[in-house]
Chain A
Amino acid sequence: MNKWLIPALTASLVLGGCSSVPRGSIPVVDGGSSIGSAQSGTPGGYGNQSAQPQALPEDSGVVVMVPGGGGSSMPIQSFPAGNAPLDTSTSNQPWSAAPPANAQGGYVAPSPSGIPSGGLTMDEQLDGPVLALLTTAQQQQGGGDLNGAASSLERAQRIAPREPQVLYRLAEVRMAQGDAAQAEQFARRGLSYASGRPALQASLWNLIAQARERQGDAAGAAQAREQARVSL
């Protein structure tokens, strides 16, 4: 059994090392300033651009929900990294679970930033574009521009379609727009990409509970609350 484990592990280490993006090279940029200084055309009434984004924490190892100017229906949260501090140069998926045709080590392309491909159990810090757009959306929501916020989040979703925090924020904005059914759906979609991130899972389940309550499904809400509790 152990005989063939060695080449397999070696291969995974080598390939993993080749393929993963060096995290340190991806800049974390405060997008609030550049987006805010918009010009061209003279439309009025987009969000409240003057809202100052708070300083964005950059300490590694903690994934931070974008801190906001009070527009969010949820308190500021942070999701700690996965259970163990993981070396990002290797996939932490148990290799035996790798599907036959899309194994972790097989892809050659560097992972586009903001798109956590492969090791979804790996907690990743949001970087450049996604963080900037979530910040913009937060400002727009704070200024009461829910359509603008939803639109910015959809833009973030196009850039990082599998980032559960984007889906979480989309669910929140749908909730604020009064569309509890869609809020629940987006939270569920977020859950499918949030494995190994218990704090985020718990928040998503809590959001589902709220959405179900709003839809008059008390039993479903209680079930979701229970799931939130179990996740943590």
Chain B
Amino acid sequence: MRPWLGWAFKLSLVGLVVLAVFAVYLDAVVQEKFSGKRWTVPAKVYARPLELFVGQKLAKADFLKELDALGYRREGAVSGPGGVSVAGNAIELYSRGFQFYESAEPSQRVRVRFSGDYVAGLTQAGGGNLAVARLEPLLIGGLYPAHQEDRVLIKIDQVPPYLVETLVAIEDREFFNHFGVSPKGIARAVWINATAGQLRQGGSTLTQQLVKNFYLTNERSLSRKATEAMMAVLLELHYEKKDILEAYLNEVFLGQDGQRAVHGFGLASQYFFSQPLSELKLEQVALLVGMVKGPTYYNPRRNPERALARRNLVLDVLVEQGVVSAEEVAAAKQKPLGITQRGTLADSSFPAFLDLVKRQLREDYQEQDLTEEGLRIFTSFDPIMQLKAESALADTLKRLSGRKGVDQVEAGMVVTSPENGEVQAIIGSRQPRFAGFNRALDAVRPIGSLIKPAIYLTALERPSQYTLTSLLEDKPFSIKGQDGQVWSPQNYDRKAHGTIYLYQGLVNSYNLSTAKLGLELGVPEVLKTMDRLGVEQKWPAYPSMLLGAGGLSPLSVANMYQTLANGGFNTPLRGIRNVLTAEGEPLKRYPFQIQQRFDSGAIYLLQNAMQRTMTEGTGRSVYNQLPRSLALAGKTGTSNDSRDSWFAGFSQDVLAVVWLGRDDNGPTPLTGATGALQVWADFMRKADPLPLDMPVPDNVVRAWVDANTGQGTDPSCPNAVQIPYIRGSQPVAGPACGIQAPVNEVMDWVRGWLD
């Protein structure tokens, strides 16, 4: 008897020591992970914040669309951050505040008054005028690591009312009383499971659930259960309930979004409601807490009935537990689920733009920094412009779908702000929501006549040799190129147009006269101009390059035309403005940089010709859709057999490039004018831009020219037209034609001037 007891004593002593050693080890594990950085957070990518100021061009409908996307609640009277009330043209909202690179934007009550498509008044709640305010930016994506866990970290003091109470009531009633494990809870679970004859309820506390998710694998065994219990006790020993609860709220798995796992209540709130967690109402809280039990089974997007039933069950428990009054719950039960819909701005992905952002970021950061450090990336992406571009493309393709072959046509589109080179929208496919081949960046296709402005710019930079009214010969010719091939260009209409003014060659996109001009200037000179416009290309200096045999991506074309649109100042296109750390500290800026590459006078003359392209040349169908008063400049491009349909053009504040073509490079039924231009025009109609209005450079004069002879004349003479020249290159003014000038001419002139 005695030796047996002795042995037992020794054995249990050994067992205790082993257990103690194991506990010390577990303790180290528990503390190490909990005290360090608990989670890695993927970088978050934001759209541009919407700026508000008096005089801003902004349609009320667009403004409301943005507010909806940001999850603003429509209310009768604004109750707090994230609320908005609409009364006619007056909109009152309570912004949420946000940390930007240059400064923090306060959360404030703002009144916006609209007049037409303009902001006519901006005041604070007190009535004081507000100079400028920013909304918080729309989150448009993230950079996820291989395991694709995403979360928005929250602090315990940011949670909405009832979240903690509801969570405790549903998942672990004894949470605030137990020490990590709950004997009472286990006993109840055992009782329920025994009476039901099956495994209905687990006895896990919130602490145990956290330990399970945070430290352990998904294996189900008794030894793992024991380890879990020990770690839970150890965790409670070292940390306060508040810290454990906060960790739980951030760790818990609440849904799967494709490849991305939605973790924590912070992200779940954004993902399901497009709202910050702190703004959630009782019924929303109840839904999220109810989903903890089975995020897939109770997914409110896939199984709305099930989710609704679960939510209402949770609400009933709250009444039962005395957390909320029966009246409040009855009201909450009447509310719909309130989940944001797929396909709205709030729940859209913009893969083509994110692709551009990622490429830039990968040049500057390690992959690990991007996927783990919670960086905040601020971009120039404009969701309103993007949606307008997408609908312009969809509407136009639908309109053109009667033509044979349009179904196989793919698309790429880039929208930028010409005055600062910021990329606002990108379409990489005719199905813009599908990530895949990004044609805006990667489809390098022959640009056709889009190259012509570079040829004419090269000429106009030599005012002693060329003006807009220099004479060119538009007639057939053949030359033997360096590659030994005989090259005989042809006009699109297969006709020769004889002697024409220089600008007419561009405006009507004549190949013969343009190619001849290019050869006079020299192909290498034209390619040099392309370089200076900001296009990196390694094209051979063959004559065929003069008609656009060289290939570019839509993004590169945007770069080229940006320099033309911005007075000859080149700006590298940018999609990212700046980067903040997870803590809101400034990390990196992508500054606005400019470089003057061309004389502004030469650019002014070229823009004049490119405007004529729109009013009287190959782009004139644009004014079937747009008012004549809207000055625009642009160029069509069509490659051989209509394999590529291009249009590139700009207003004062918007530049857009459209490419249509087939991935297999087959012929399409579309020219630049019948295809890409139609998309472009529809987009411009929706974007409602400011008319092009380049200030007249000091070295430009406007002279009266006889439209028939190209000689200098007087405004009182018949056929007098006004043409800009570089000072000194204008023709000598002719004598006045006296008072007998026909009134019609004058009225035409007045009308032209008023347009």
B420 adjacent to A161 (CB under 8 Å): yes
B104 adjacent to A129 (CB under 8 Å): no
Given contacts A117-B690, A185-B594, contact A128 B54 (CB under 8 A): yes
The closest CB in chain A to the CB of B101 belongs to: A151
Interface string of A100-114 (1 = CB under 8 A from B): 111101111111111
Chain A's interface size range is 35 or more
Q: Name the distance in Å between A7's Cβ and chain B's nearest Cβ.
A: 6
B615 adjacent to A4 (CB under 8 Å): no
Residue from the list B586, B695, B736 in contact with A147, Cβ < 8 A: B586
Chain B contacts for A39, CB-based, 8 A = 97, 104, 106-107
Stretch at the interface among A58-66, A73-81, A187-195, A212-220: A187-195
A78 to B53 Cα, complex, angstroms: 25
Q: Name the distance in Å between B626's Cβ and chain A's nearest Cβ.
A: 12
Q: Name the distance in Å between B617's Cβ and chain A's nearest Cβ.
A: 12
**B4 interface residue (CB < 8 Å to A):** no
**A11 interface residue (CB < 8 Å to B):** yes
**A120 interface residue (CB < 8 Å to B):** yes
B724 adjacent to A99 (CB under 8 Å): yes
Stretch at the interface among B198-206, B348-356, B514-522, B745-753: B745-753
**B90 interface residue (CB < 8 Å to A):** no
Count of CB-CB pairs between chains A and B under 8 Å? 216
Given contacts A150-B589, A195-B695, contact A41 B55 (CB under 8 A): no
A31 adjacent to B118 (CB under 8 Å): no
Given contacts A40-B97, A192-B695, contact A1 B739 (CB under 8 A): yes
Residue from the list A31, A96, A98, A113 in contact with B55, Cβ < 8 A: A113
Interface string of A33-77 (1 = CB under 8 A from B): 011011111111111000000000000000000000000000000
The closest CB in chain A to the CB of B702 belongs to: A97
**A144 interface residue (CB < 8 Å to B):** no
Stretch at the interface among B127-135, B176-184, B324-332, B668-676: B127-135
Q: Name the distance in Å between A205's Cβ and chain B's nearest Cβ.
A: 13
Chain B contacts for A124, CB-based, 8 A = none
The closest CB in chain B to the CB of A15 belongs to: B754
A189 adjacent to B596 (CB under 8 Å): yes
Interface string of A174-186 (1 = CB under 8 A from B): 0000000010011
A201 to B426 Cα, complex, angstroms: 38
Chain A contacts for B577, CB-based, 8 A = 151, 154
Chain A contacts for B53, CB-based, 8 A = 113-114, 128-129, 159
Q: Name the distance in Å between B342's Cβ and chain A's nearest Cβ.
A: 30
Given contacts A3-B739, A7-B750, A189-B594, contact A101 B55 (CB under 8 A): no
Chain A contacts for B612, CB-based, 8 A = 101
**A82 interface residue (CB < 8 Å to B):** no
Q: Name the distance in Å between A35's Cβ and chain B's nearest Cβ.
A: 6
A152 to B105 Cα, complex, angstroms: 12
The closest CB in chain B to the CB of A128 belongs to: B131
Given contacts A34-B106, A40-B99, A129-B131, contact A100 B693 (CB under 8 A): no
B722 adjacent to A41 (CB under 8 Å): no
A151 adjacent to B102 (CB under 8 Å): yes
**B569 interface residue (CB < 8 Å to A):** yes
Given contacts A4-B743, A159-B51, A185-B596, contact A46 B104 (CB under 8 A): yes
The closest CB in chain B to the CB of A184 belongs to: B596
Given contacts A45-B585, A128-B54, A136-B103, contact A186 B97 (CB under 8 A): no
The closest CB in chain A to the CB of B591 belongs to: A150
B697 adjacent to A192 (CB under 8 Å): yes
A1 to B584 Cα, complex, angstroms: 66
B755 adjacent to A101 (CB under 8 Å): yes
A117 to B695 Cα, complex, angstroms: 9
A31 to B133 Cα, complex, angstroms: 10
A193 to B102 Cα, complex, angstroms: 26
A164 to B585 Cα, complex, angstroms: 31
Chain A contacts for B600, CB-based, 8 A = 192
**B593 interface residue (CB < 8 Å to A):** yes
Interface string of A154-167 (1 = CB under 8 A from B): 11011101100000
A105 to B693 Cα, complex, angstroms: 12
Q: Name the distance in Å between B747's Cβ and chain A's nearest Cβ.
A: 8
A106 to B753 Cα, complex, angstroms: 8
Interface string of A3-15 (1 = CB under 8 A from B): 1100110010001
The closest CB in chain B to the CB of A100 belongs to: B752
Interface-centre pick from B96, B614, B652 (highest chain A CB count, 10 A): B652
Q: Name the distance in Å between B406's Cβ and chain A's nearest Cβ.
A: 32
**A26 interface residue (CB < 8 Å to B):** yes
**A133 interface residue (CB < 8 Å to B):** yes
B584 adjacent to A43 (CB under 8 Å): yes
The closest CB in chain B to the CB of A2 belongs to: B739
Interface-centre pick from A31, A101, A148 (highest chain B CB count, 10 A): A101
Residue from the list A41, A151, A162 in contact with B589, Cβ < 8 A: A151
A159 to B131 Cα, complex, angstroms: 12
The closest CB in chain B to the CB of A49 belongs to: B103
The closest CB in chain A to the CB of B632 belongs to: A101
Chain B contacts for A152, CB-based, 8 A = 102-103
A46 to B104 Cα, complex, angstroms: 9
Q: Name the distance in Å between A39's Cβ and chain B's nearest Cβ.
A: 5
Interface string of B283-318 (1 = CB under 8 A from A): 000000000000000000000000000000000000
The closest CB in chain A to the CB of B736 belongs to: A1
Chain B contacts for A161, CB-based, 8 A = 417, 419-420, 653
**B578 interface residue (CB < 8 Å to A):** yes
Q: Name the distance in Å between A66's Cβ and chain B's nearest Cβ.
A: 13
Residue from the list B105, B585, B736 in contact with A40, Cβ < 8 A: B105
Interface string of B118-142 (1 = CB under 8 A from A): 1000001000011110000000000
**B63 interface residue (CB < 8 Å to A):** no
A113 to B107 Cα, complex, angstroms: 24
Q: Name the distance in Å between B95's Cβ and chain A's nearest Cβ.
A: 10
A187 to B267 Cα, complex, angstroms: 45
A98 to B722 Cα, complex, angstroms: 10
**A140 interface residue (CB < 8 Å to B):** yes
**B691 interface residue (CB < 8 Å to A):** yes
Q: Name the distance in Å between B440's Cβ and chain A's nearest Cβ.
A: 22
A193 adjacent to B743 (CB under 8 Å): no
A100 adjacent to B753 (CB under 8 Å): yes
Chain A contacts for B104, CB-based, 8 A = 38-41, 43, 46
A15 to B56 Cα, complex, angstroms: 21
A117 adjacent to B693 (CB under 8 Å): yes
A189 to B600 Cα, complex, angstroms: 10
**B692 interface residue (CB < 8 Å to A):** yes
A46 adjacent to B103 (CB under 8 Å): yes
Given contacts A27-B54, A100-B722, A112-B118, contact A35 B103 (CB under 8 A): yes
A118 adjacent to B693 (CB under 8 Å): yes
**B219 interface residue (CB < 8 Å to A):** no
Tell me which residues from 123 to 154 in chain A have a Cβ below 8 Å from any Cβ of chain B.
128-129, 131-133, 136, 140, 147-148, 150-152, 154
Q: Name the distance in Å between A106's Cβ and chain B's nearest Cβ.
A: 5
Q: Name the distance in Å between B599's Cβ and chain A's nearest Cβ.
A: 11
**B567 interface residue (CB < 8 Å to A):** yes
**B625 interface residue (CB < 8 Å to A):** no
**B393 interface residue (CB < 8 Å to A):** no
The closest CB in chain B to the CB of A8 belongs to: B750
The closest CB in chain A to the CB of B614 belongs to: A101
The closest CB in chain A to the CB of B600 belongs to: A192
A31 adjacent to B754 (CB under 8 Å): no
Chain A contacts for B419, CB-based, 8 A = 157, 161-162
Q: Name the distance in Å between A118's Cβ and chain B's nearest Cβ.
A: 7
Using a CB–CB cutoff of 8 Å, the interface residues on chain A facing chain B are: 1, 3-4, 7-8, 11, 15, 21, 26-27, 29, 31, 34-35, 37-47, 95-103, 105-115, 117-118, 120, 128-129, 131-133, 136, 140, 147-148, 150-152, 154-155, 157-159, 161-162, 170, 182, 185-186, 188-189, 192-193, 195
Extra inter-chain contacts (13) besides given A106-B754, A129-B131, CB under 8 Å: A15-B754, A34-B130, A35-B103, A40-B98, A40-B106, A99-B608, A99-B702, A105-B754, A112-B57, A154-B591, A157-B419, A161-B420, A185-B593
What are the 8 closest A-B residue pairs judged by CB atoms, nearest first?
A113-B55, A40-B97, A38-B104, A43-B584, A132-B131, A41-B99, A161-B419, A129-B53
